[in-house]
Chain A
């Protein structure tokens, strides 16, 4: 990346011999540099590249294997304090309001709680529906703009929860701007599976989903909006997101379709309660006729609060990473109605006519609700170049993302480095690609800021273990319904011996001869079981959550997104 254009940066040097050096990546390509800091010429160039779908981690050819390294964007200190060179901004991309047929809160109710719970950004994702497309998508916008004015230190995006034709739901959101409503409305009216009656798993409907993602990319290329992102929500919940559909969405436009929920929302739903218990994340479905027949029953439940696609070492997520395909994970609240809140829907009104429910009023304690407020339990941490709408979207697109439950840790800096290089801002961060000469010794450094303050259940979580997971990059799969990665496994586990401050670990890869990727996860160690691919692959993975007996605060995990190491 080109630090030379950053007049304020510290004059550190990079190891040009061993990986793509700073001067190799022009500033326009470096997503850690906010647009506001680019020259007008570079802004224009970035626009062109973005317009051509050539911006973002591994985007150019749909794989980290086939392009120089725009993904190799590591941070610079900038003029503000920022950990590891980035401003780590916590957020939630999946939040419902009174404009969803199954929710109740005002935008500002969600926003105020999000901010109070420590979030820097959030996305309003009311359900796509006939009433929403006709009324809600427009009516919610003034509420969002008012909340932006009221809470200046919270970035509030407008999006929607898309009924993906032939599949599950997805977060779709856009950068704020004068066309934010117009683009979302056009998208919803043309491509929402519920609005256009395209829910069945037919090839035509699958194609419509692809077209919808391409529409969003086009809207960016035509400069109607500055950015649009897609994340598949609760992807394994009903078994209807087949592996080839996931690949299809990603490949349709990797600058838009960037990933999936690693963990679903509704994390309070599995708490023991007086009535028959529900499942954590409301993951209590069975295969249906619409399901992908290859998925095992295990995929219909959460594992340590995470979706099976993410929780299974050597499973679907790893199969995409082994292809060299950037595909990121997130965590979110899916907040509709929150556990132990004291509100209820206001009386009167008609959702279908009004496109919304009346404002909530004071009500009884919600002991049966299954959701947490935004930021109360689940957080998605994005390494952004600045506090701005565009920088958060760029950070998400680049995969500089880690997620946690229950405030298990307070900071995570993972970098792939040439062995021995410990300079503060060297190395390739989460989501990046480290390119080295074949035979170069490489290390993964993991710096964890332990939880220093209580979480929102008023205790300080204790991290027990950090696992490093690695797999070989074996290139494209012949069968696009592949959902296993035979080389992925836990290669190292670090026990954490202290309760506060920072812990640092180094995993030595040795001399690297084959392309590979690494990712990390950590746990409080309360619940573990051998992974679904066997104890040899994952000896102490997350255990399956028990319906009606899953206290999410007693089973905490964090996950980091991958880093690729490519020798040549």
Chain B
């Protein structure tokens, strides 16, 4: 795999992951590609990104045409690439099988059809292979200890659901 650090200084994960999604499309959706967002404070709080693609899966000229990283963001981009490569950090927004993770499916199937290697639960008992995952059509696993891990929490009806909800409440929501 080639691990590339990318960084356009996005303020939010949502903006960064839209950009990453489009980028992967432009690269021809190479099989095995994993694109991650990374929260960073280097040099100011923002969202960096990383992209891993199998060697040879993308033409060299296409990779060379990736948007340049501004000098002040290079450290963050390099850190993102290193964390991704080591499996220490990064929240995957594009990864093999992500398109299969919709609706509700058992943990075993989720592990089988996607690159996710582990499902953990916080605030509840560990999940078994038959535990149903309500994906909410929004699954964002993270690199932890070298393992692409989906962190979940208990959900209604004895199910579990990804910790990250697709539409978190804004800080001054109109609560009507």
> CB within 8 Å of B: which residues of A?
101-104, 127, 168-169, 200-202, 237-238, 266, 272, 276-279, 282, 284-291, 293, 297-298, 300-301, 336-337, 344-345, 366, 368-371, 529, 543-544, 546-549
Tally of contact residues, B, Cβ under 8 A: 32
CB distance A284 to B46 under 8 Å? no
A278 — nearest CB in chain B belongs to which residue? B169
A288 and B174: CB pair below 8 A? no
Whether the Cβ atoms of B169 and A284 lie closer than 8 Å is: yes
Q: Are A344 and B164 in contact (CB under 8 A)?
A: no
Shortest Cβ gap from B140 to chain A (Å): 9
Residues of A within 8 A of B161 (CB): 547
Tell whether B176 is near chain A: CB-to-CB under 8 Å: yes
Nearest 9 pairs between A and B by C-beta?
A544-B123, A549-B156, A289-B45, A282-B169, A285-B168, A102-B174, A336-B175, A337-B175, A286-B164
A336 and chain B: residue at smallest CB distance: B175
Distance (Å) between the CB of A204 and the closest chain B CB?
Answer: 12
- With A284-B169, A337-B175, A547-B165 known as contacts, the answer to whether A289 contacts B40 (CB < 8 A) is yes
Select one of A266, A301, A344, A368 contacting B123, CB under 8 A.
Answer: A301
Residues of B near A368 (CB, < 8 A) are: 176
Asked if A201 contacts B175 (CB within 8 A), the reply is no
Give Cα A169 to B154, complex, Å. 28
Given the known inter-chain contacts A278-B169, A289-B12, A298-B123, please indicate yes or no for A266 contacting B155, CB distance below 8 A.
no
A-B contacts, CB under 8 A, total: 94
**Is B173 in the interface zone, CB < 8 Å from A?**
yes
- Chain B's closest residue to A237 (CB) is B171
Distance between Cα atoms of A370 and B176 in the complex (Å): 8
- Write 16 A-B pairs (CB below 8 A) sorted by A numbering: A103-B175, A104-B176, A168-B171, A276-B136, A284-B168, A289-B11, A289-B12, A289-B13, A289-B47, A300-B163, A301-B123, A301-B153, A345-B176, A366-B176, A544-B122, A546-B156
Residues of A within 8 A of B155 (CB): 546-549
Q: Is the CB of B175 within 8 A of A277?
A: no
B147 at the interface (CB under 8 A from A): no
Which B residues touch A287, using CB under 8 A? 39
Asked whether, in the complex, the Cβ of A201 is within 8 Å of the Cβ of B45, the reply is yes
Residues of B within 8 A of A276 (CB): 136
Query: Which residues of B, 31-73, contact A by the 8 Å Cβ criterion?
Result: 39-41, 44-47
Q: Does B151 contact A (CB under 8 A)?
A: yes
Contact between A297 and B168, CB atoms less than 8 A apart: no
Residue of B41, B45, B155 contacting most chain A CB atoms (<10 Å):
B45
Q: A266-B175, A277-B156 are in contact. Are A291 and B39 (CB under 8 A)?
A: yes
Write the chain A residue with the least CB distance to B16: A289
Q: Which single residue of chain A is at the shortest CB-CB distance from B172? A: A102
Of residues 62 through 88 on chain B, the ones whose CB sits less than 8 Å from some CB of chain A are none
Nearest-neighbor residue (CB-CB) of A102 within chain B: B174
Q: How far is the CA of A288 from the CA of B41 in the complex (A)?
A: 11
**How distant is B123 from chain A, measured CB to nearest CB, in Å?**
3
B128 within 8 A of A: no
The residues of A that contact B157 with a CB separation of less than 8 Å are: 549
B123 adjacent to A529 (CB under 8 Å): yes
Q: A102-B174, A238-B171 are in contact. Are A297 and B39 (CB under 8 A)?
A: no
Most A C-beta atoms less than 10 A away, residue of B39, B124, B168:
B168
If the complex has contacts A284-B168, A297-B163, are A543 and B153 also in contact, measured as CB distance less than 8 A? no
B11 to A, closest residue via Cβ: A289
**For the complex, what is the distance from the CA of A343 to the CA of B46, rounded to whole Å?**
41
Nearest-neighbour CB distance to chain B for A181, whole angstroms, equals 22
Q: Which residues of B contact A370 (CB under 8 A)?
A: 175
5 further interface pairs, Cβ-Cβ under 8 Å (given A277-B156, A288-B39, A297-B122): A284-B169, A287-B39, A288-B13, A297-B163, A544-B154
Q: Given known contacts A293-B41, A547-B155, is B122 in contact with A298 (CB within 8 Å)?
A: yes
| A409 shortest CB reach to chain B, Å | 26
Find out whether the CB atom of B11 lies under 8 angstroms from the CB atom of A369.
no
Q: How far is the CA of A104 from the CA of B161 in the complex (A)?
A: 33
Query: CA–CA, A533 to B40, complex, Å?
Result: 27
Rounded to whole angstroms, the CA-CA distance of A243 and B154 in the bound complex is: 28
Q: B residues within 8 A CB of A282?
A: 169, 173, 175
- Asked whether, in the complex, the Cβ of B44 is within 8 Å of the Cβ of A202, the reply is yes
Query: Which has the most chain A C-beta neighbours within 10 Å: B45, B136, B157, B169?
Result: B169
- Whether the Cβ atoms of A337 and B176 lie closer than 8 Å is yes
Report the minimum CB–CB distance from A17 to chain B (whole Å).
49
Known contacts A200-B45, A290-B45, A546 near B172 by CB under 8 Å = no
- With a cutoff of 8 Å between Cβ atoms, the chain A residues found around residue B124 in the complex are 544
Determine whether the beta carbon of B40 is less than 8 Å from that of A371: no
Q: Which residue of B lies closest to A339 (CB)?
A: B175
